[in-house]
Structure 1
Amino acid sequence: MEQREAVVAVLLRGERLLAIRRGPAVARPGYWQPLSGKVEPGESQEQAVVREVREEVGLTVAPEAKVWESETDDHRFRLHWWTARADTGEVVPDPREVAETRWVTPREFLALDPVFDGDREFFERILPEL
């Protein structure tokens, strides 16, 4: 089975980042995570970050840097982790995809439950080095 490409948007505002709880229309609902989504054919990773954030929470963002790569626990997706800034604008979640949103510190993110192991690794090991 061929791995699909996906992006994870670590959306920063000051010292906080946007955590979303997966909505009812997506796989594995109820998990807390950063925003993420598939890269569409012909789309760059940066374009995917901008589009996914706009679709899921209505914010216009500027991708900054790719900071990590990982894969999902079922190995279906290769995840390209990008930091992006969202200094202004109101979060307007798509209710099918996003059940809840919170601006949290990395420590607060790690206290959310449930979260995916790969996301936990990013916040414990990768983000502190950035």
Structure 2
Amino acid sequence: MTPPSPTTAAEPLPLAVCVVIRHAERYLLVRRAPGRPAPGYWTPVTGKLEPDETLPEAARREVREETGLSVTVGPEVHRCPTSNGAFLLVWFRATLDDPTEPLALARDEVDDARWVTATEALALDPMFPATRAWLATDSAPIAASQ
């Protein structure tokens, strides 16, 4: 049997997106549904890229699929590996296209969603360390239009 190639560890991780949505000084967090990776964990909307999809396109699609909301994806704000090391998570900010649009959760992917302040978010459990760290240090001003 041939041992694994030493270059295997240097191969780039596949990309996934994490979408931080803030409105009226609150963050939208979703709880992962049973049967999904890390069920019960509170996170911003996350997901994998589809073939031939850009990162902003993936961010917009994942938000629509999981929450039913339409967003405008803003700048990339952070990158980190997922807690299991399977993906490189690319974080984006996004704003709601229509703040009156109701949530329509994809129950097979998320079983709850909440608009919470950073303080309320930090009290939710379980939560990945990267999400907790982001919420604890996110000090960028909230735009008046959010």
Give TM-score, length-normalised by structure 1.
0.93
Matched, 1:9 2:19: yes
Cα deviation, residue 49, structure 1? 0.7
RMSD over aligned Cα atoms: 1.3
Q: Tell me which of 90, 100, 122 is aligned to 2:102.
A: 90
Matched, 1:105 2:109: no
Give runs of aligned pairs for residues 21-100 of structure 1, distance below 5 A: 21-86=31-96, 87-100=99-112
- Greater strand share, structure number: 1
Give runs of aligned pairs for residues 106-125 of structure 1, distance below 5 A: 106-125=118-137
Question: SS in structure 2 opposite 1:68?
Answer: strand
* CA–CA separation in structure 2 for the residues paired with 1:23 and 1:78: 22
* CA–CA separation in structure 2 for the residues paired with 1:77 and 1:124: 23
Letter in 2 for 1:27: P
* CA–CA separation in structure 2 for the residues paired with 1:58 and 1:25: 20
* CA–CA separation in structure 2 for the residues paired with 1:34 and 1:114: 13
Q: How big is each residue's C-alpha offset from its partner over 1:59-118, in whole Å with a ceiling of 9 and x where there is no partner?
A: 111001111111111110101100001133111100111111100011111110110011
* CA–CA separation in structure 1 for the residues paired with 2:83 and 2:19: 18
Question: SS in structure 1 opposite 2:139?
Answer: helix
Length, aligned pairs only: 129
Identity between Structure 1 and Structure 2 (%): 40
Question: SS in structure 2 opposite 1:62?
Answer: strand
Cα deviation, residue 25, structure 1? 2.9
Over 3 Å counting, the alpha-carbon distance change for 1:40 and 1:54 in structure 2 is same
Q: Tell me which of 117, 139, 144 is aligned to 1:128.
A: 139
* CA–CA separation in structure 2 for the residues paired with 1:80 and 1:88: 27
Tell which structure's C-alpha radius of gyration is larger.
2
* CA–CA separation in structure 2 for the residues paired with 1:88 and 1:53: 16
Give TM-score, length-normalised by structure 2.
0.83
| Structure 1 gap ranges (5+) | none
